[in-house]
């Protein structure tokens, strides 16, 4: 009896001391530098640069080049994007616009289906004519010239080494290649991505891309925008009906700009301004939600999800009509980000009734069904030991871009010509496909939803670095991670993996991940929402800083992402 009692007490002591966890999504913790990207090999490359003494910008450049090999469907040197940089020494946050640009020969008439007198979307989505002037190489090099500390040669070499060894074909990469019809239309792409050896467990070899990267190593920006590579691009364009010429490449410029920002519950939110419409959408939604006490709600409750969806409608509306390339249009940014403007919007929200989007915009227009924003973008977040931070989102457009590998270069061409509003001029409409601010013009950059974020707390310390792919869903994906951290005090693992929604201002369908519970779905239907189920929404790569320690989390919604730590 005494032995039994001892065993009973020992068992209870043991079980009482057992460590439990609030959820299964555990962040990676470190007080050293950290890289979070959508590919494990690229994250390791970035962390290795930090370990060699490079700073966050050096690591960002290395990761940016590497993803063109490891994540060819989204990472790129043939596309463009946005970068936020926090310079800890000077305590300043800057934005870098390296968005793809329309070539001089581009005009609405070029893409006209003359038999139907309408825009031919096939021409802006696939083939050489879909390719806008790439900005990624110029952007990465400009960041390096301004803030980097290591030689450019060392930052590109890991990608060359990887290409020489062959890029491993994971199951995810294999199915992406098999599922992309555009690749089957281009001989160069088929030879690289759809050959007999392109199987799970096999490797991708791209000798032309190695040569292109070696020229950048040797000549910097000129190794891409002038000389041998530029000549090959122009020759391929002329031979295949493309529009880019050598002067387009030579004249391309990276734009350093001030990020847009707001104060939100004692936090300072920085994100990308125009031509990003995603940043405006996020900040507008936050301004609207600031008028509600979210401590009265629970994440994923029907009441909160409804309120969130209503705020998203106003955020998406802000980007639909007014955002375009600021060099061509006057953007009413002050009004769009006005707290008073948001307060007026918040008063229109009914807590138990969904707003019909037709009250926000004109009637649904069939042309908007053709205006499709691709989800195949990628994001990475980096912080170093000195507190410098980089948040980058960039894209080829669709998965594998236009499907074209530009002859002799190994470069996948983007299809960013698709992102202009090709049915512009309908002044009675707030629909994106008709936005005058985003109409196609030579040398113009199309509006984008990409919206990298860096957030500071009330003590001006970095709190969150995040971003996501997802096309039109990007602003709402990022918004939910921000709210989960700032309003609900979730750690970055749970903040990332909490089920997501997406509500646009272009239709009444509320897209929700299938993991949201049935009671919430039922109540949302009673509120008047039209529910549409999605498997997953987005793939955020985030770093959450708490008391000087970095907590990284790579979204599980897409495979092969990783948090890598400086050694």
Alpha-carbon torsion (108, 112, 118, 123), positive or negative: negative
Q: Are 60 and 120 in contact (CB under 8 A)?
A: no
Q: Measuring CA to CA, which residue among 162, 58, 4, 88 is closest to residue 386?
A: 88
**How many whole angstroms from its chain centre is CA 238?**
31
- 363 labeled binding residue: no
383-402 in b/e burial notation, b at 16+ Cβ within 10 A? bbbebbbbbbbbbbbbbbbb
Active site residues: 377
Please tell me whether residue 149 adopts helix, strand or coil conformation: coil
Q: Measuring CA to CA, which residue among 338, 347, 239 is closest to residue 292?
A: 347
Please tell me whether residue 465 adopts helix, strand or coil conformation: strand
Please tell me whether residue 38 adopts helix, strand or coil conformation: coil
Task: Give the Cα separation of 429 and 434 in Å (integer).
Answer: 7
Q: Measuring CA to CA, which residue among 99, 55, 49, 50 is closest to residue 392?
A: 99
Task: Give the Cα separation of 174 and 172 in Å (integer).
Answer: 5
C-beta atoms surrounding 312 within 10 Å: 27
- 448 labeled binding residue: yes
- 99 labeled binding residue: yes
Q: Are 490 and 484 in contact (CB under 8 A)?
A: yes
Number of C-alpha atoms within 13 angstroms, CB side, residue 294? 26
Task: Give the Cα separation of 13 and 25 in Å (integer).
Answer: 27
- 471 labeled binding residue: yes
Task: Give the Cα separation of 68 and 63 in Å (integer).
Answer: 9
- Summarize the annotated binding site for L-glutamate as residue ranges: 99, 448-449, 471
- Summarize the annotated binding site as residue ranges: 99, 448-449, 471
């Amino acid at each position: 009896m005494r032995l039994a009692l001892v065993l009973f007490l020992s068992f209870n002591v043991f079980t009482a001391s057992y460590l439990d966890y609030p959820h299964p999504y555990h962040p990676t913790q470190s007080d050293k530098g950290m890289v979070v990207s959508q590919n494990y090999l690229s994250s390791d490359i970035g962390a290795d640069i930090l370990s060699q003494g490079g700073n966050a910008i050096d690591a960002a450049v290395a990761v940016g080049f590497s993803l063109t090999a490891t994540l060819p469907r989204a990472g790129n040197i043939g596309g463009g994007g946005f970068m936020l940089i926090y310079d800890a020494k000077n305590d300043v946050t800057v934005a870098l616009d390296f968005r793809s640009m329309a070539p001089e020969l581009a005009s609405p008439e070029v893409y006209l289906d003359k038999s139907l007198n309408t825009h031919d979307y096939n021409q802006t989505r696939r083939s050489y004519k879909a390719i806008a002037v790439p900005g990624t190489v110029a952007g990465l090099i400009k960041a390096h010239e301004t803030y980097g500390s290591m030689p450019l040669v060392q930052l590109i070499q890991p990608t060359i080494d990887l290409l020489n060894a062959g890029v491993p074909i994971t199951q995810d990469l294999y199915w992406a290649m098999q599922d992309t019809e555009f690749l089957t239309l281009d001989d160069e792409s088929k030879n690289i991505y759809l050959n007999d050896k392109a199987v799970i467990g096999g490797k991708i070899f791209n000798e032309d891309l190695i040569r292109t990267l070696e020229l950048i190593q040797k000549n910097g920006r000129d190794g891409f925008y002038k000389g041998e590579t530029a000549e090959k691009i122009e020759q391929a364009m002329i031979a295949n009906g493309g529009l880019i010429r050598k002067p387009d490449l030579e004249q391309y410029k990276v734009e350093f700009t001030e990020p847009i920002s707001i104060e939100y519950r004692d936090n300072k939110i920085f994100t990308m301004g125009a031509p990003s419409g995603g940043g405006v959408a996020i900040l507008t939604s936050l301004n609207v939600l600031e008028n509600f006490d979210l401590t009265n709600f629970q994440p994923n409750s029907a009441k909160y999800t409804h309120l969130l969806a209503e705020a998203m409608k106003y955020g998406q509306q802000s980007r639909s009509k007014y955002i375009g390339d600021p060099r061509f249009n006057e953007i009413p940014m002050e009004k769009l980000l006005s707290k008073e403007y948001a307060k007026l919007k918040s008063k229109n929200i009914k807590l138990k009734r969904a707003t019909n989007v037709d009250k926000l915009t004109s009637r649904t227009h069939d042309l908007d069904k053709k205006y499709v924003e691709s989800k195949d973008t990628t994001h990475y977040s980096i912080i170093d030991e000195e507190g410098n931070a980089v948040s980058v989102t960039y894209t080829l457009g669709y998965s594998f871009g236009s499907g074209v590998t530009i002859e002799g270069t190994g470069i996948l061409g983007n299809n960013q010509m698709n992102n202009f509003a090709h049915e512009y001029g309908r002044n009675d409409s707030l629909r994106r496909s008709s936005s005058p601010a985003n109409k196609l013009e030579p040398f113009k950059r199309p509006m984008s939803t990409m919206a990298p974020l860096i957030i500071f707390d009330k003590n001006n310390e970095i709190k969150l670095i995040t971003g996501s792919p997802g096309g039109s869903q990007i602003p709402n994906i990022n918004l939910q991670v921000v709210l989960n951290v700032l309003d609900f005090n979730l750690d970055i693992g749970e903040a990332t993996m909490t089920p997501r929604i997406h509500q646009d201002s272009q239709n009444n369908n509320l897209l929700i991940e299938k993991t949201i519970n049935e009671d919430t779905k039922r109540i949302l239907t009673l509120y008047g929402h039209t529910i549409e189920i999605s498997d997953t929404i987005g793939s955020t790569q985030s770093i959450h800083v708490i008391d000087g320690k970095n907590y990284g989390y790579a979204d599980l919604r897409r495979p092969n992402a990783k948090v890598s730590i400086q050694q």
